[in-house]
Chains A and B, each alone.
Chain A
Amino acid sequence: MSRQYETVIGLEVHVELATKTKIFCGCSTEFGGAPNTHTCPVCTGMPGSLPVLNKQVVEYAAAVGLATNCTITQNCKFDRKNYFYPDNPQNYQISQLYYPICRNGHVDIEVDGRKKSIGIHEIHMEEDAGKLIHDPVTGNSLVDFNRSGVPLIEIVSEPDMRSADEVIAYLEKLRMLIQYLGASDCKLQEGSMRADVNLSVREMGAEEFGTRTEMKNLNSFSAIARAIEGETERQIDLLEEGKAVVQETRRWDDEKEYSYPMRSKEDAQDYRYFPEPDLPPIIISDEWLEEIRRRQPEFRDEKQARYKEEYGLPEYDIDIITSDKTLTDLFERCIALGAAPKEVSNWLMGDTMRLLKEQEMEAADLHFSPEHLVKMIAMIESGAINRKVARKVFEAIFKDDVEPEAYVEENGLKTVSDEGALRKVIEEIVENNPKSVEDYKAGKKKAMGFFVGQTMRAMKGKADPAMVNQILREILD
């Protein structure tokens, strides 16, 4: 390749908002119901039904706008986007084109120590579509409207990104902000956060943008990275061959690592937007906006500073704990319950992270109660369990949110603090291992470790290590 190219990327990120009900009707947004059990005349497009806007959607959208430095459109409206598809029950989607709720924002990212600001063109509110399921028996498709009408915001960035790393950093930043707001759990795998990538290439130093394509169906950070790489290559190859890039929507196939055009003759991509006559405008007064602003939570940067100042945690700990809203919440609730910050931090960073990885879970999936972790920490401190046993208890808390005292009791994990019984066991071990006694007397410190290990094994790990050490010394010295 003789010429140098630059990739230009803009993102359209869809985020499902964490409301209890759909955007225009009182149906539940809960995941996983049997097909069409969370539907009503409104979200299935029955004739004569009418939408009524969920206020919480406006508040979440405005809050995300404030967190991303946007100007809030204080007189905003909904529009209809018209296209036929079976997952779209009215064959139009209620969205925003002319007066989106947020405009002109930015978020700051950092890649390899370089800081950069990514512009946000707009954020608009809209409704999600239903789900199409392939029926392998008949070859038909089945339509489930449970997701139809779930509220979404679409965050449209400026074409400010130049690499997959920047894209991932931008997405992580967005995810963090939105999670902190509690506006969404932002899970890519489950589709509560979805990104469409608009990508073009141009010769390094060129002023004009190249022709862009839009890629859909990207459901993990790694798929996004691969798609950017694949599509960049495809476009450069075209240009090198003297061919033109066609402006089109393409579907990324992550297994084949290639994108395919999605358009057919029957999709004119002419959405005939017009103002939604069934929904009056939304006027966000200065007072309302101020109220939303006041309710904004402490974001990551502020939290990091405070954790350092208030709890004196190392930066490494702070970085990990604040990387996810669920983790931070857990941490803060444990502190509020009186646990020592560093102790809590250790459990979150060590065993929690390890178990998440083993179970292939995201931090957002954590579901144990802080009360149980705090109680377990207290049990360590009181000597009721030792650290080794604690790790076992923690695993049970992590998995099933068990009550630690009851769990320890039921499984007989309580530290044996009956000195007489322990002494008897140790005396026996010392008697049976004269060689090691000699080693110890000869000054080999290792021998001590051997005796402790043997004792713990015999006690099935339940002995108080301090007491074991003390008795051993008494006997051996």
Chain B
Amino acid sequence: MDLMKDTAVTLSEKIRAGEITVMDAAMAAMDAIREKESAYHCYVTVLDREAVLKRAQEVQKLIEEGKLNGPLAGVPAAIKDNMCTRGVRTTCSSRILEDFVPPYTAEAVENLEKAGVVIIGKTNMDEFAMGSTTETSYFGATKNPWNEAHVPGGSSGGSAAAVAAEECIFALGSDTGGSIRQPASYCGIVGMKPTYGTVSRYGLIAYGSSLDQIGPMAKDVRDCAVILDAITSHDRKDSTSVKREGGDFISALINDVKGMKIGIPKDYFGEGIDEDVREAVLKAAKVLEAQGAVVEEFDLGLVKYAIPAYYVIACAEASSNLARFDGVKYGYRTPEYEGLHNMYKKTRSEGFGEEVKRRIMLGSFVLSSGYYDAYYLKALRTKTLIKQEFDKAFAKYDVILGPAAPTTAPKLGDSLSDPIKMYLGDIYTISVNLAGLPGITVPCGTDMNGLPVGLQLIGDCFKEKNIIRAAYTYEQNRGFAMNAPAAAKEGGENR
């Protein structure tokens, strides 16, 4: 019995039924990591085996005492390395935080721990979540478990790959411009970015504060809903945290979309999209239509302006958010320097990678004297218009359907050479962050090379239930099982 094939829900059922123990599950995960990590490099930090065992025993005891009986009790999971974990180093995959051990735990992670989840490690990512491939990590790239010559996507590439490679049961990711949905799509798993404000950002090391949101990355839609239920909280420590009425996302796991209105933006199928991707996504729309959804095409508009607006806003916020890494309070400090400003400059130049520096410089420039109105305010006004476009669309549709990314996972080393091309890969995900909307990606097939394609479903603010319901219905009726990559390589049929 390979426990790592279980979903969170099925594994926890076995644990609570007494078929297996929390220790069995945790050790199965630790063994999987030991076996596969050299091939994929999903983790920056794997927790000490003894510490995991001890935590597993505590959870086991609580389950036995009847104090823990939720659907995640005892499940081993991984956390993206930009969420603070007390006593466990948190690096953001950056040299500048190589040895940073936070004195506190992120609210979302704490919520998981309260639900009885056993944290086993911190996953690799693009440095400070800046990138779409997980290649900008100071600790080296993560490989796509479907094909090791390809990237897993990013920035939550380590989390996506760890779920796909069965090196954990599920993981948390964070999404600023598509960083959960795109790697989930590339790795053939389900990933969800909730409405901005749903999951507390306290303890999430900020990239673009007005865009960042934590979300689940898991094997199926049910797990995603269950995890989202657990991590959602109205947190007084995060002033942008929203009090959600009628959370209970599990109740949206309904295999029925009769009468649901689904809009497909024509603009999402224009230039730059792979034929295989287009085909797989439109086929998925047919599946939903067959289940009774009303599907039609429409003009979303302003799609191409989302990326430039996003880069102005995200880089401006990042230039300020990352100013705190200065060699004074924590993290890396250059060994040799002359005076304060030289210490700052050398520390930051040596501590940050090239992509991070590029974005900090762009962000500093667009905010600098004389440019603020032309760039920053212009971007905020564009954001207003983009939000209005979505408002118009959601007046007509319950769900917007499209691809998660224009292509499947590119080869390692292919993307970084041309930043704009890399940024264009985020075209379907980015506007969702600008408008604060929820989005979910579900695997909808593979391309000619056997790499997964992801379907993206976007909902109106606070309407996660619509997209969970549509995603769940699709998953139940797509007509194939999305096998793990290992099985697929052995000849499993995904289409």
Contact = CB atoms under 8 A, between A and B. Distances in A.
Nearest to B316: A274
B273 interface: no
Contact of A50 (B238, B320, B372): B238
Contacts of A41: 103-104
Contacts of B100: 47
Nearest to B323: A91
B476 interface: no
A91 B325 CA distance: 9
A272 B370 CA distance: 10
Given A52-B236, A89-B324, A92-B323, A272 B368 contact: yes
Chief secondary structure at chain B's binding surface: loop
Most buried by A among B237, B238, B330, B364: B237
Contact of A84 (B83, B201, B239, B344): B344
Contacts of A46: 102-104, 329-330
A146 to B, nearest CB: 14
Contacts of A90: 323-324
Interface string B50-66: 00000000000000000
B352 interface: no
Interface stretch (A210-218, A277-285, A369-377): A277-285
B492 to A, nearest CB: 40
Contacts of B280: none
A51 interface: yes
Chain A, interface size: which category? 20 to 34
Contacts of A277: 208-210, 240, 317
B67 interface: no
Nearest to A280: B239
B84 interface: yes
Contact of B240 (A270, A273, A278): A278
B320 A82 contact: yes
Interface in A41-77: 41, 44-53
A80 interface: yes
Contacts of B320: 80, 82, 92, 272, 274
A46 B103 CA distance: 9
A86 interface: yes
Given A277-B317, A278-B240, A47 B324 contact: yes
A383 to B, nearest CB: 61
A366 interface: no
B83 A270 contact: no
Contact of B206 (A48, A52, A143, A273): A48
Given A82-B367, A86-B328, A47 B205 contact: yes
A47 B317 contact: no
A139 to B, nearest CB: 11
Most buried by B among A44, A46, A80, A266: A46
A49 B317 contact: no
Interface in A235-289: 266, 270, 272-274, 277-280
B376 interface: yes
Contact of B372 (A44, A143, A274): A274
B97 interface: yes
Interface of A: 41, 44-53, 80, 82, 84, 86, 89-92, 143, 266, 270, 272-274, 277-280
Interface of B: 83-84, 90, 92, 97, 100, 102-104, 106, 201-206, 208-210, 236-240, 316-317, 319-320, 323-326, 328-330, 340-341, 344, 364, 367-369, 372, 376
